[in-house]
Amino acid sequence: MEKRRAFETDEFLSSQTKKLMLKAAIFDMDGVIIDSEPLHYKAYHQMFDEVGISVSAELYDSLTGKSTINVCKQLKDHYNLSQSPEELAAIKRRHYDVIFENDKTFDLIKGVRQLIENYHESGLTLVLGSSATMPSIERIFKRFELNPYFKAKLSGAELKASKPHPEIFIKAAEATGYLPEECIVIEDATNGIQAAKDAGIFCVGFDSIHSKNQDYSKADMVISNFEEIHFDKIKAIFEG
């Protein structure tokens, strides 16, 4: 019996000290895959004008990374608006739909398709964890033909809690089929980075010209170009 216990202890210690391997990558969408912030900015501000509120730049920046419905709940409470959060979200989405359909310059962020293809070809499992609604996610994935690369897509709008709550990344890690410790998250926003870290996942902060006034101090590493985390490079950092 003692010999059996000793064997089990050695096996357990070996499993705990075993080197982690990178198995999956979880992508945020807005600000990482697409530069949708200008579209959201226009849609939100058209909604602000329609309901008669003036939102400071500081308050607007603090909303980045949150789902539309949670933003609208916060705005309703802050400004004591008569409209429900659902009505505010519907107004914003109506404006966004018009802008999305008519902006022909709208494209993927530079280098992200190459990164997605590089990860996919290298055998990583890819999952999306975005605060956007599922119809918005599906529209983006259809427009840019991204579905073949991703195992799953999760919408924060369908969850009880929004980023910076870690729920979306906990569920995204589960969707990969691997441990959180075997995943990375790529995020551009303060709220998303906090969510990833609270989910126990290695977080890459994407600090680009598209993301303004965000705090990257809690990210495990910060990049400004996707080439910095192509598979061989991020594998060496993650597993090193």
List, in sequence order, every beta strand (DSSP E) within the chain.
24-27, 125-130, 152-155, 183-187, 202-206, 221-223
In CATH, 20-35+106-239 is 3.40.50.150: no
Full-prediction pTM beyond 0.85? Answer: no
Annotated domain spans of the chain: 20-35+106-239, 37-102
The whole-number pLDDT of residue 36 equals: 81
* pLDDT for res 133: 87
Instruction: State the CATH class of domain 37-102.
Output: mainly alpha
Q: Are 171 and 152 in contact (CB under 8 A)?
A: no
Give the SS3 label for residue 192: helix
Report the C-alpha gap between 145 and 133 in whole angstroms: 18
Q: Which two tokens stand for residue 60?
A: 């607007």
pLDDT tens for the chain, 240 residues: list them: 444 444 344 443 444 445 789 999 999 999 999 988 888 899 999 999 999 999 999 999 888 778 889 899 999 999 999 999 999 999 999 999 999 889 888 899 999 999 999 999 999 999 999 998 899 899 999 999 999 999 999 999 888 888 999 999 999 999 999 999 999 999 999 999 999 999 999 999 999 887 778 999 999 999 999 999 999 999 999 998
Domain 37-102 in the same topology as domain 20-35+106-239: no
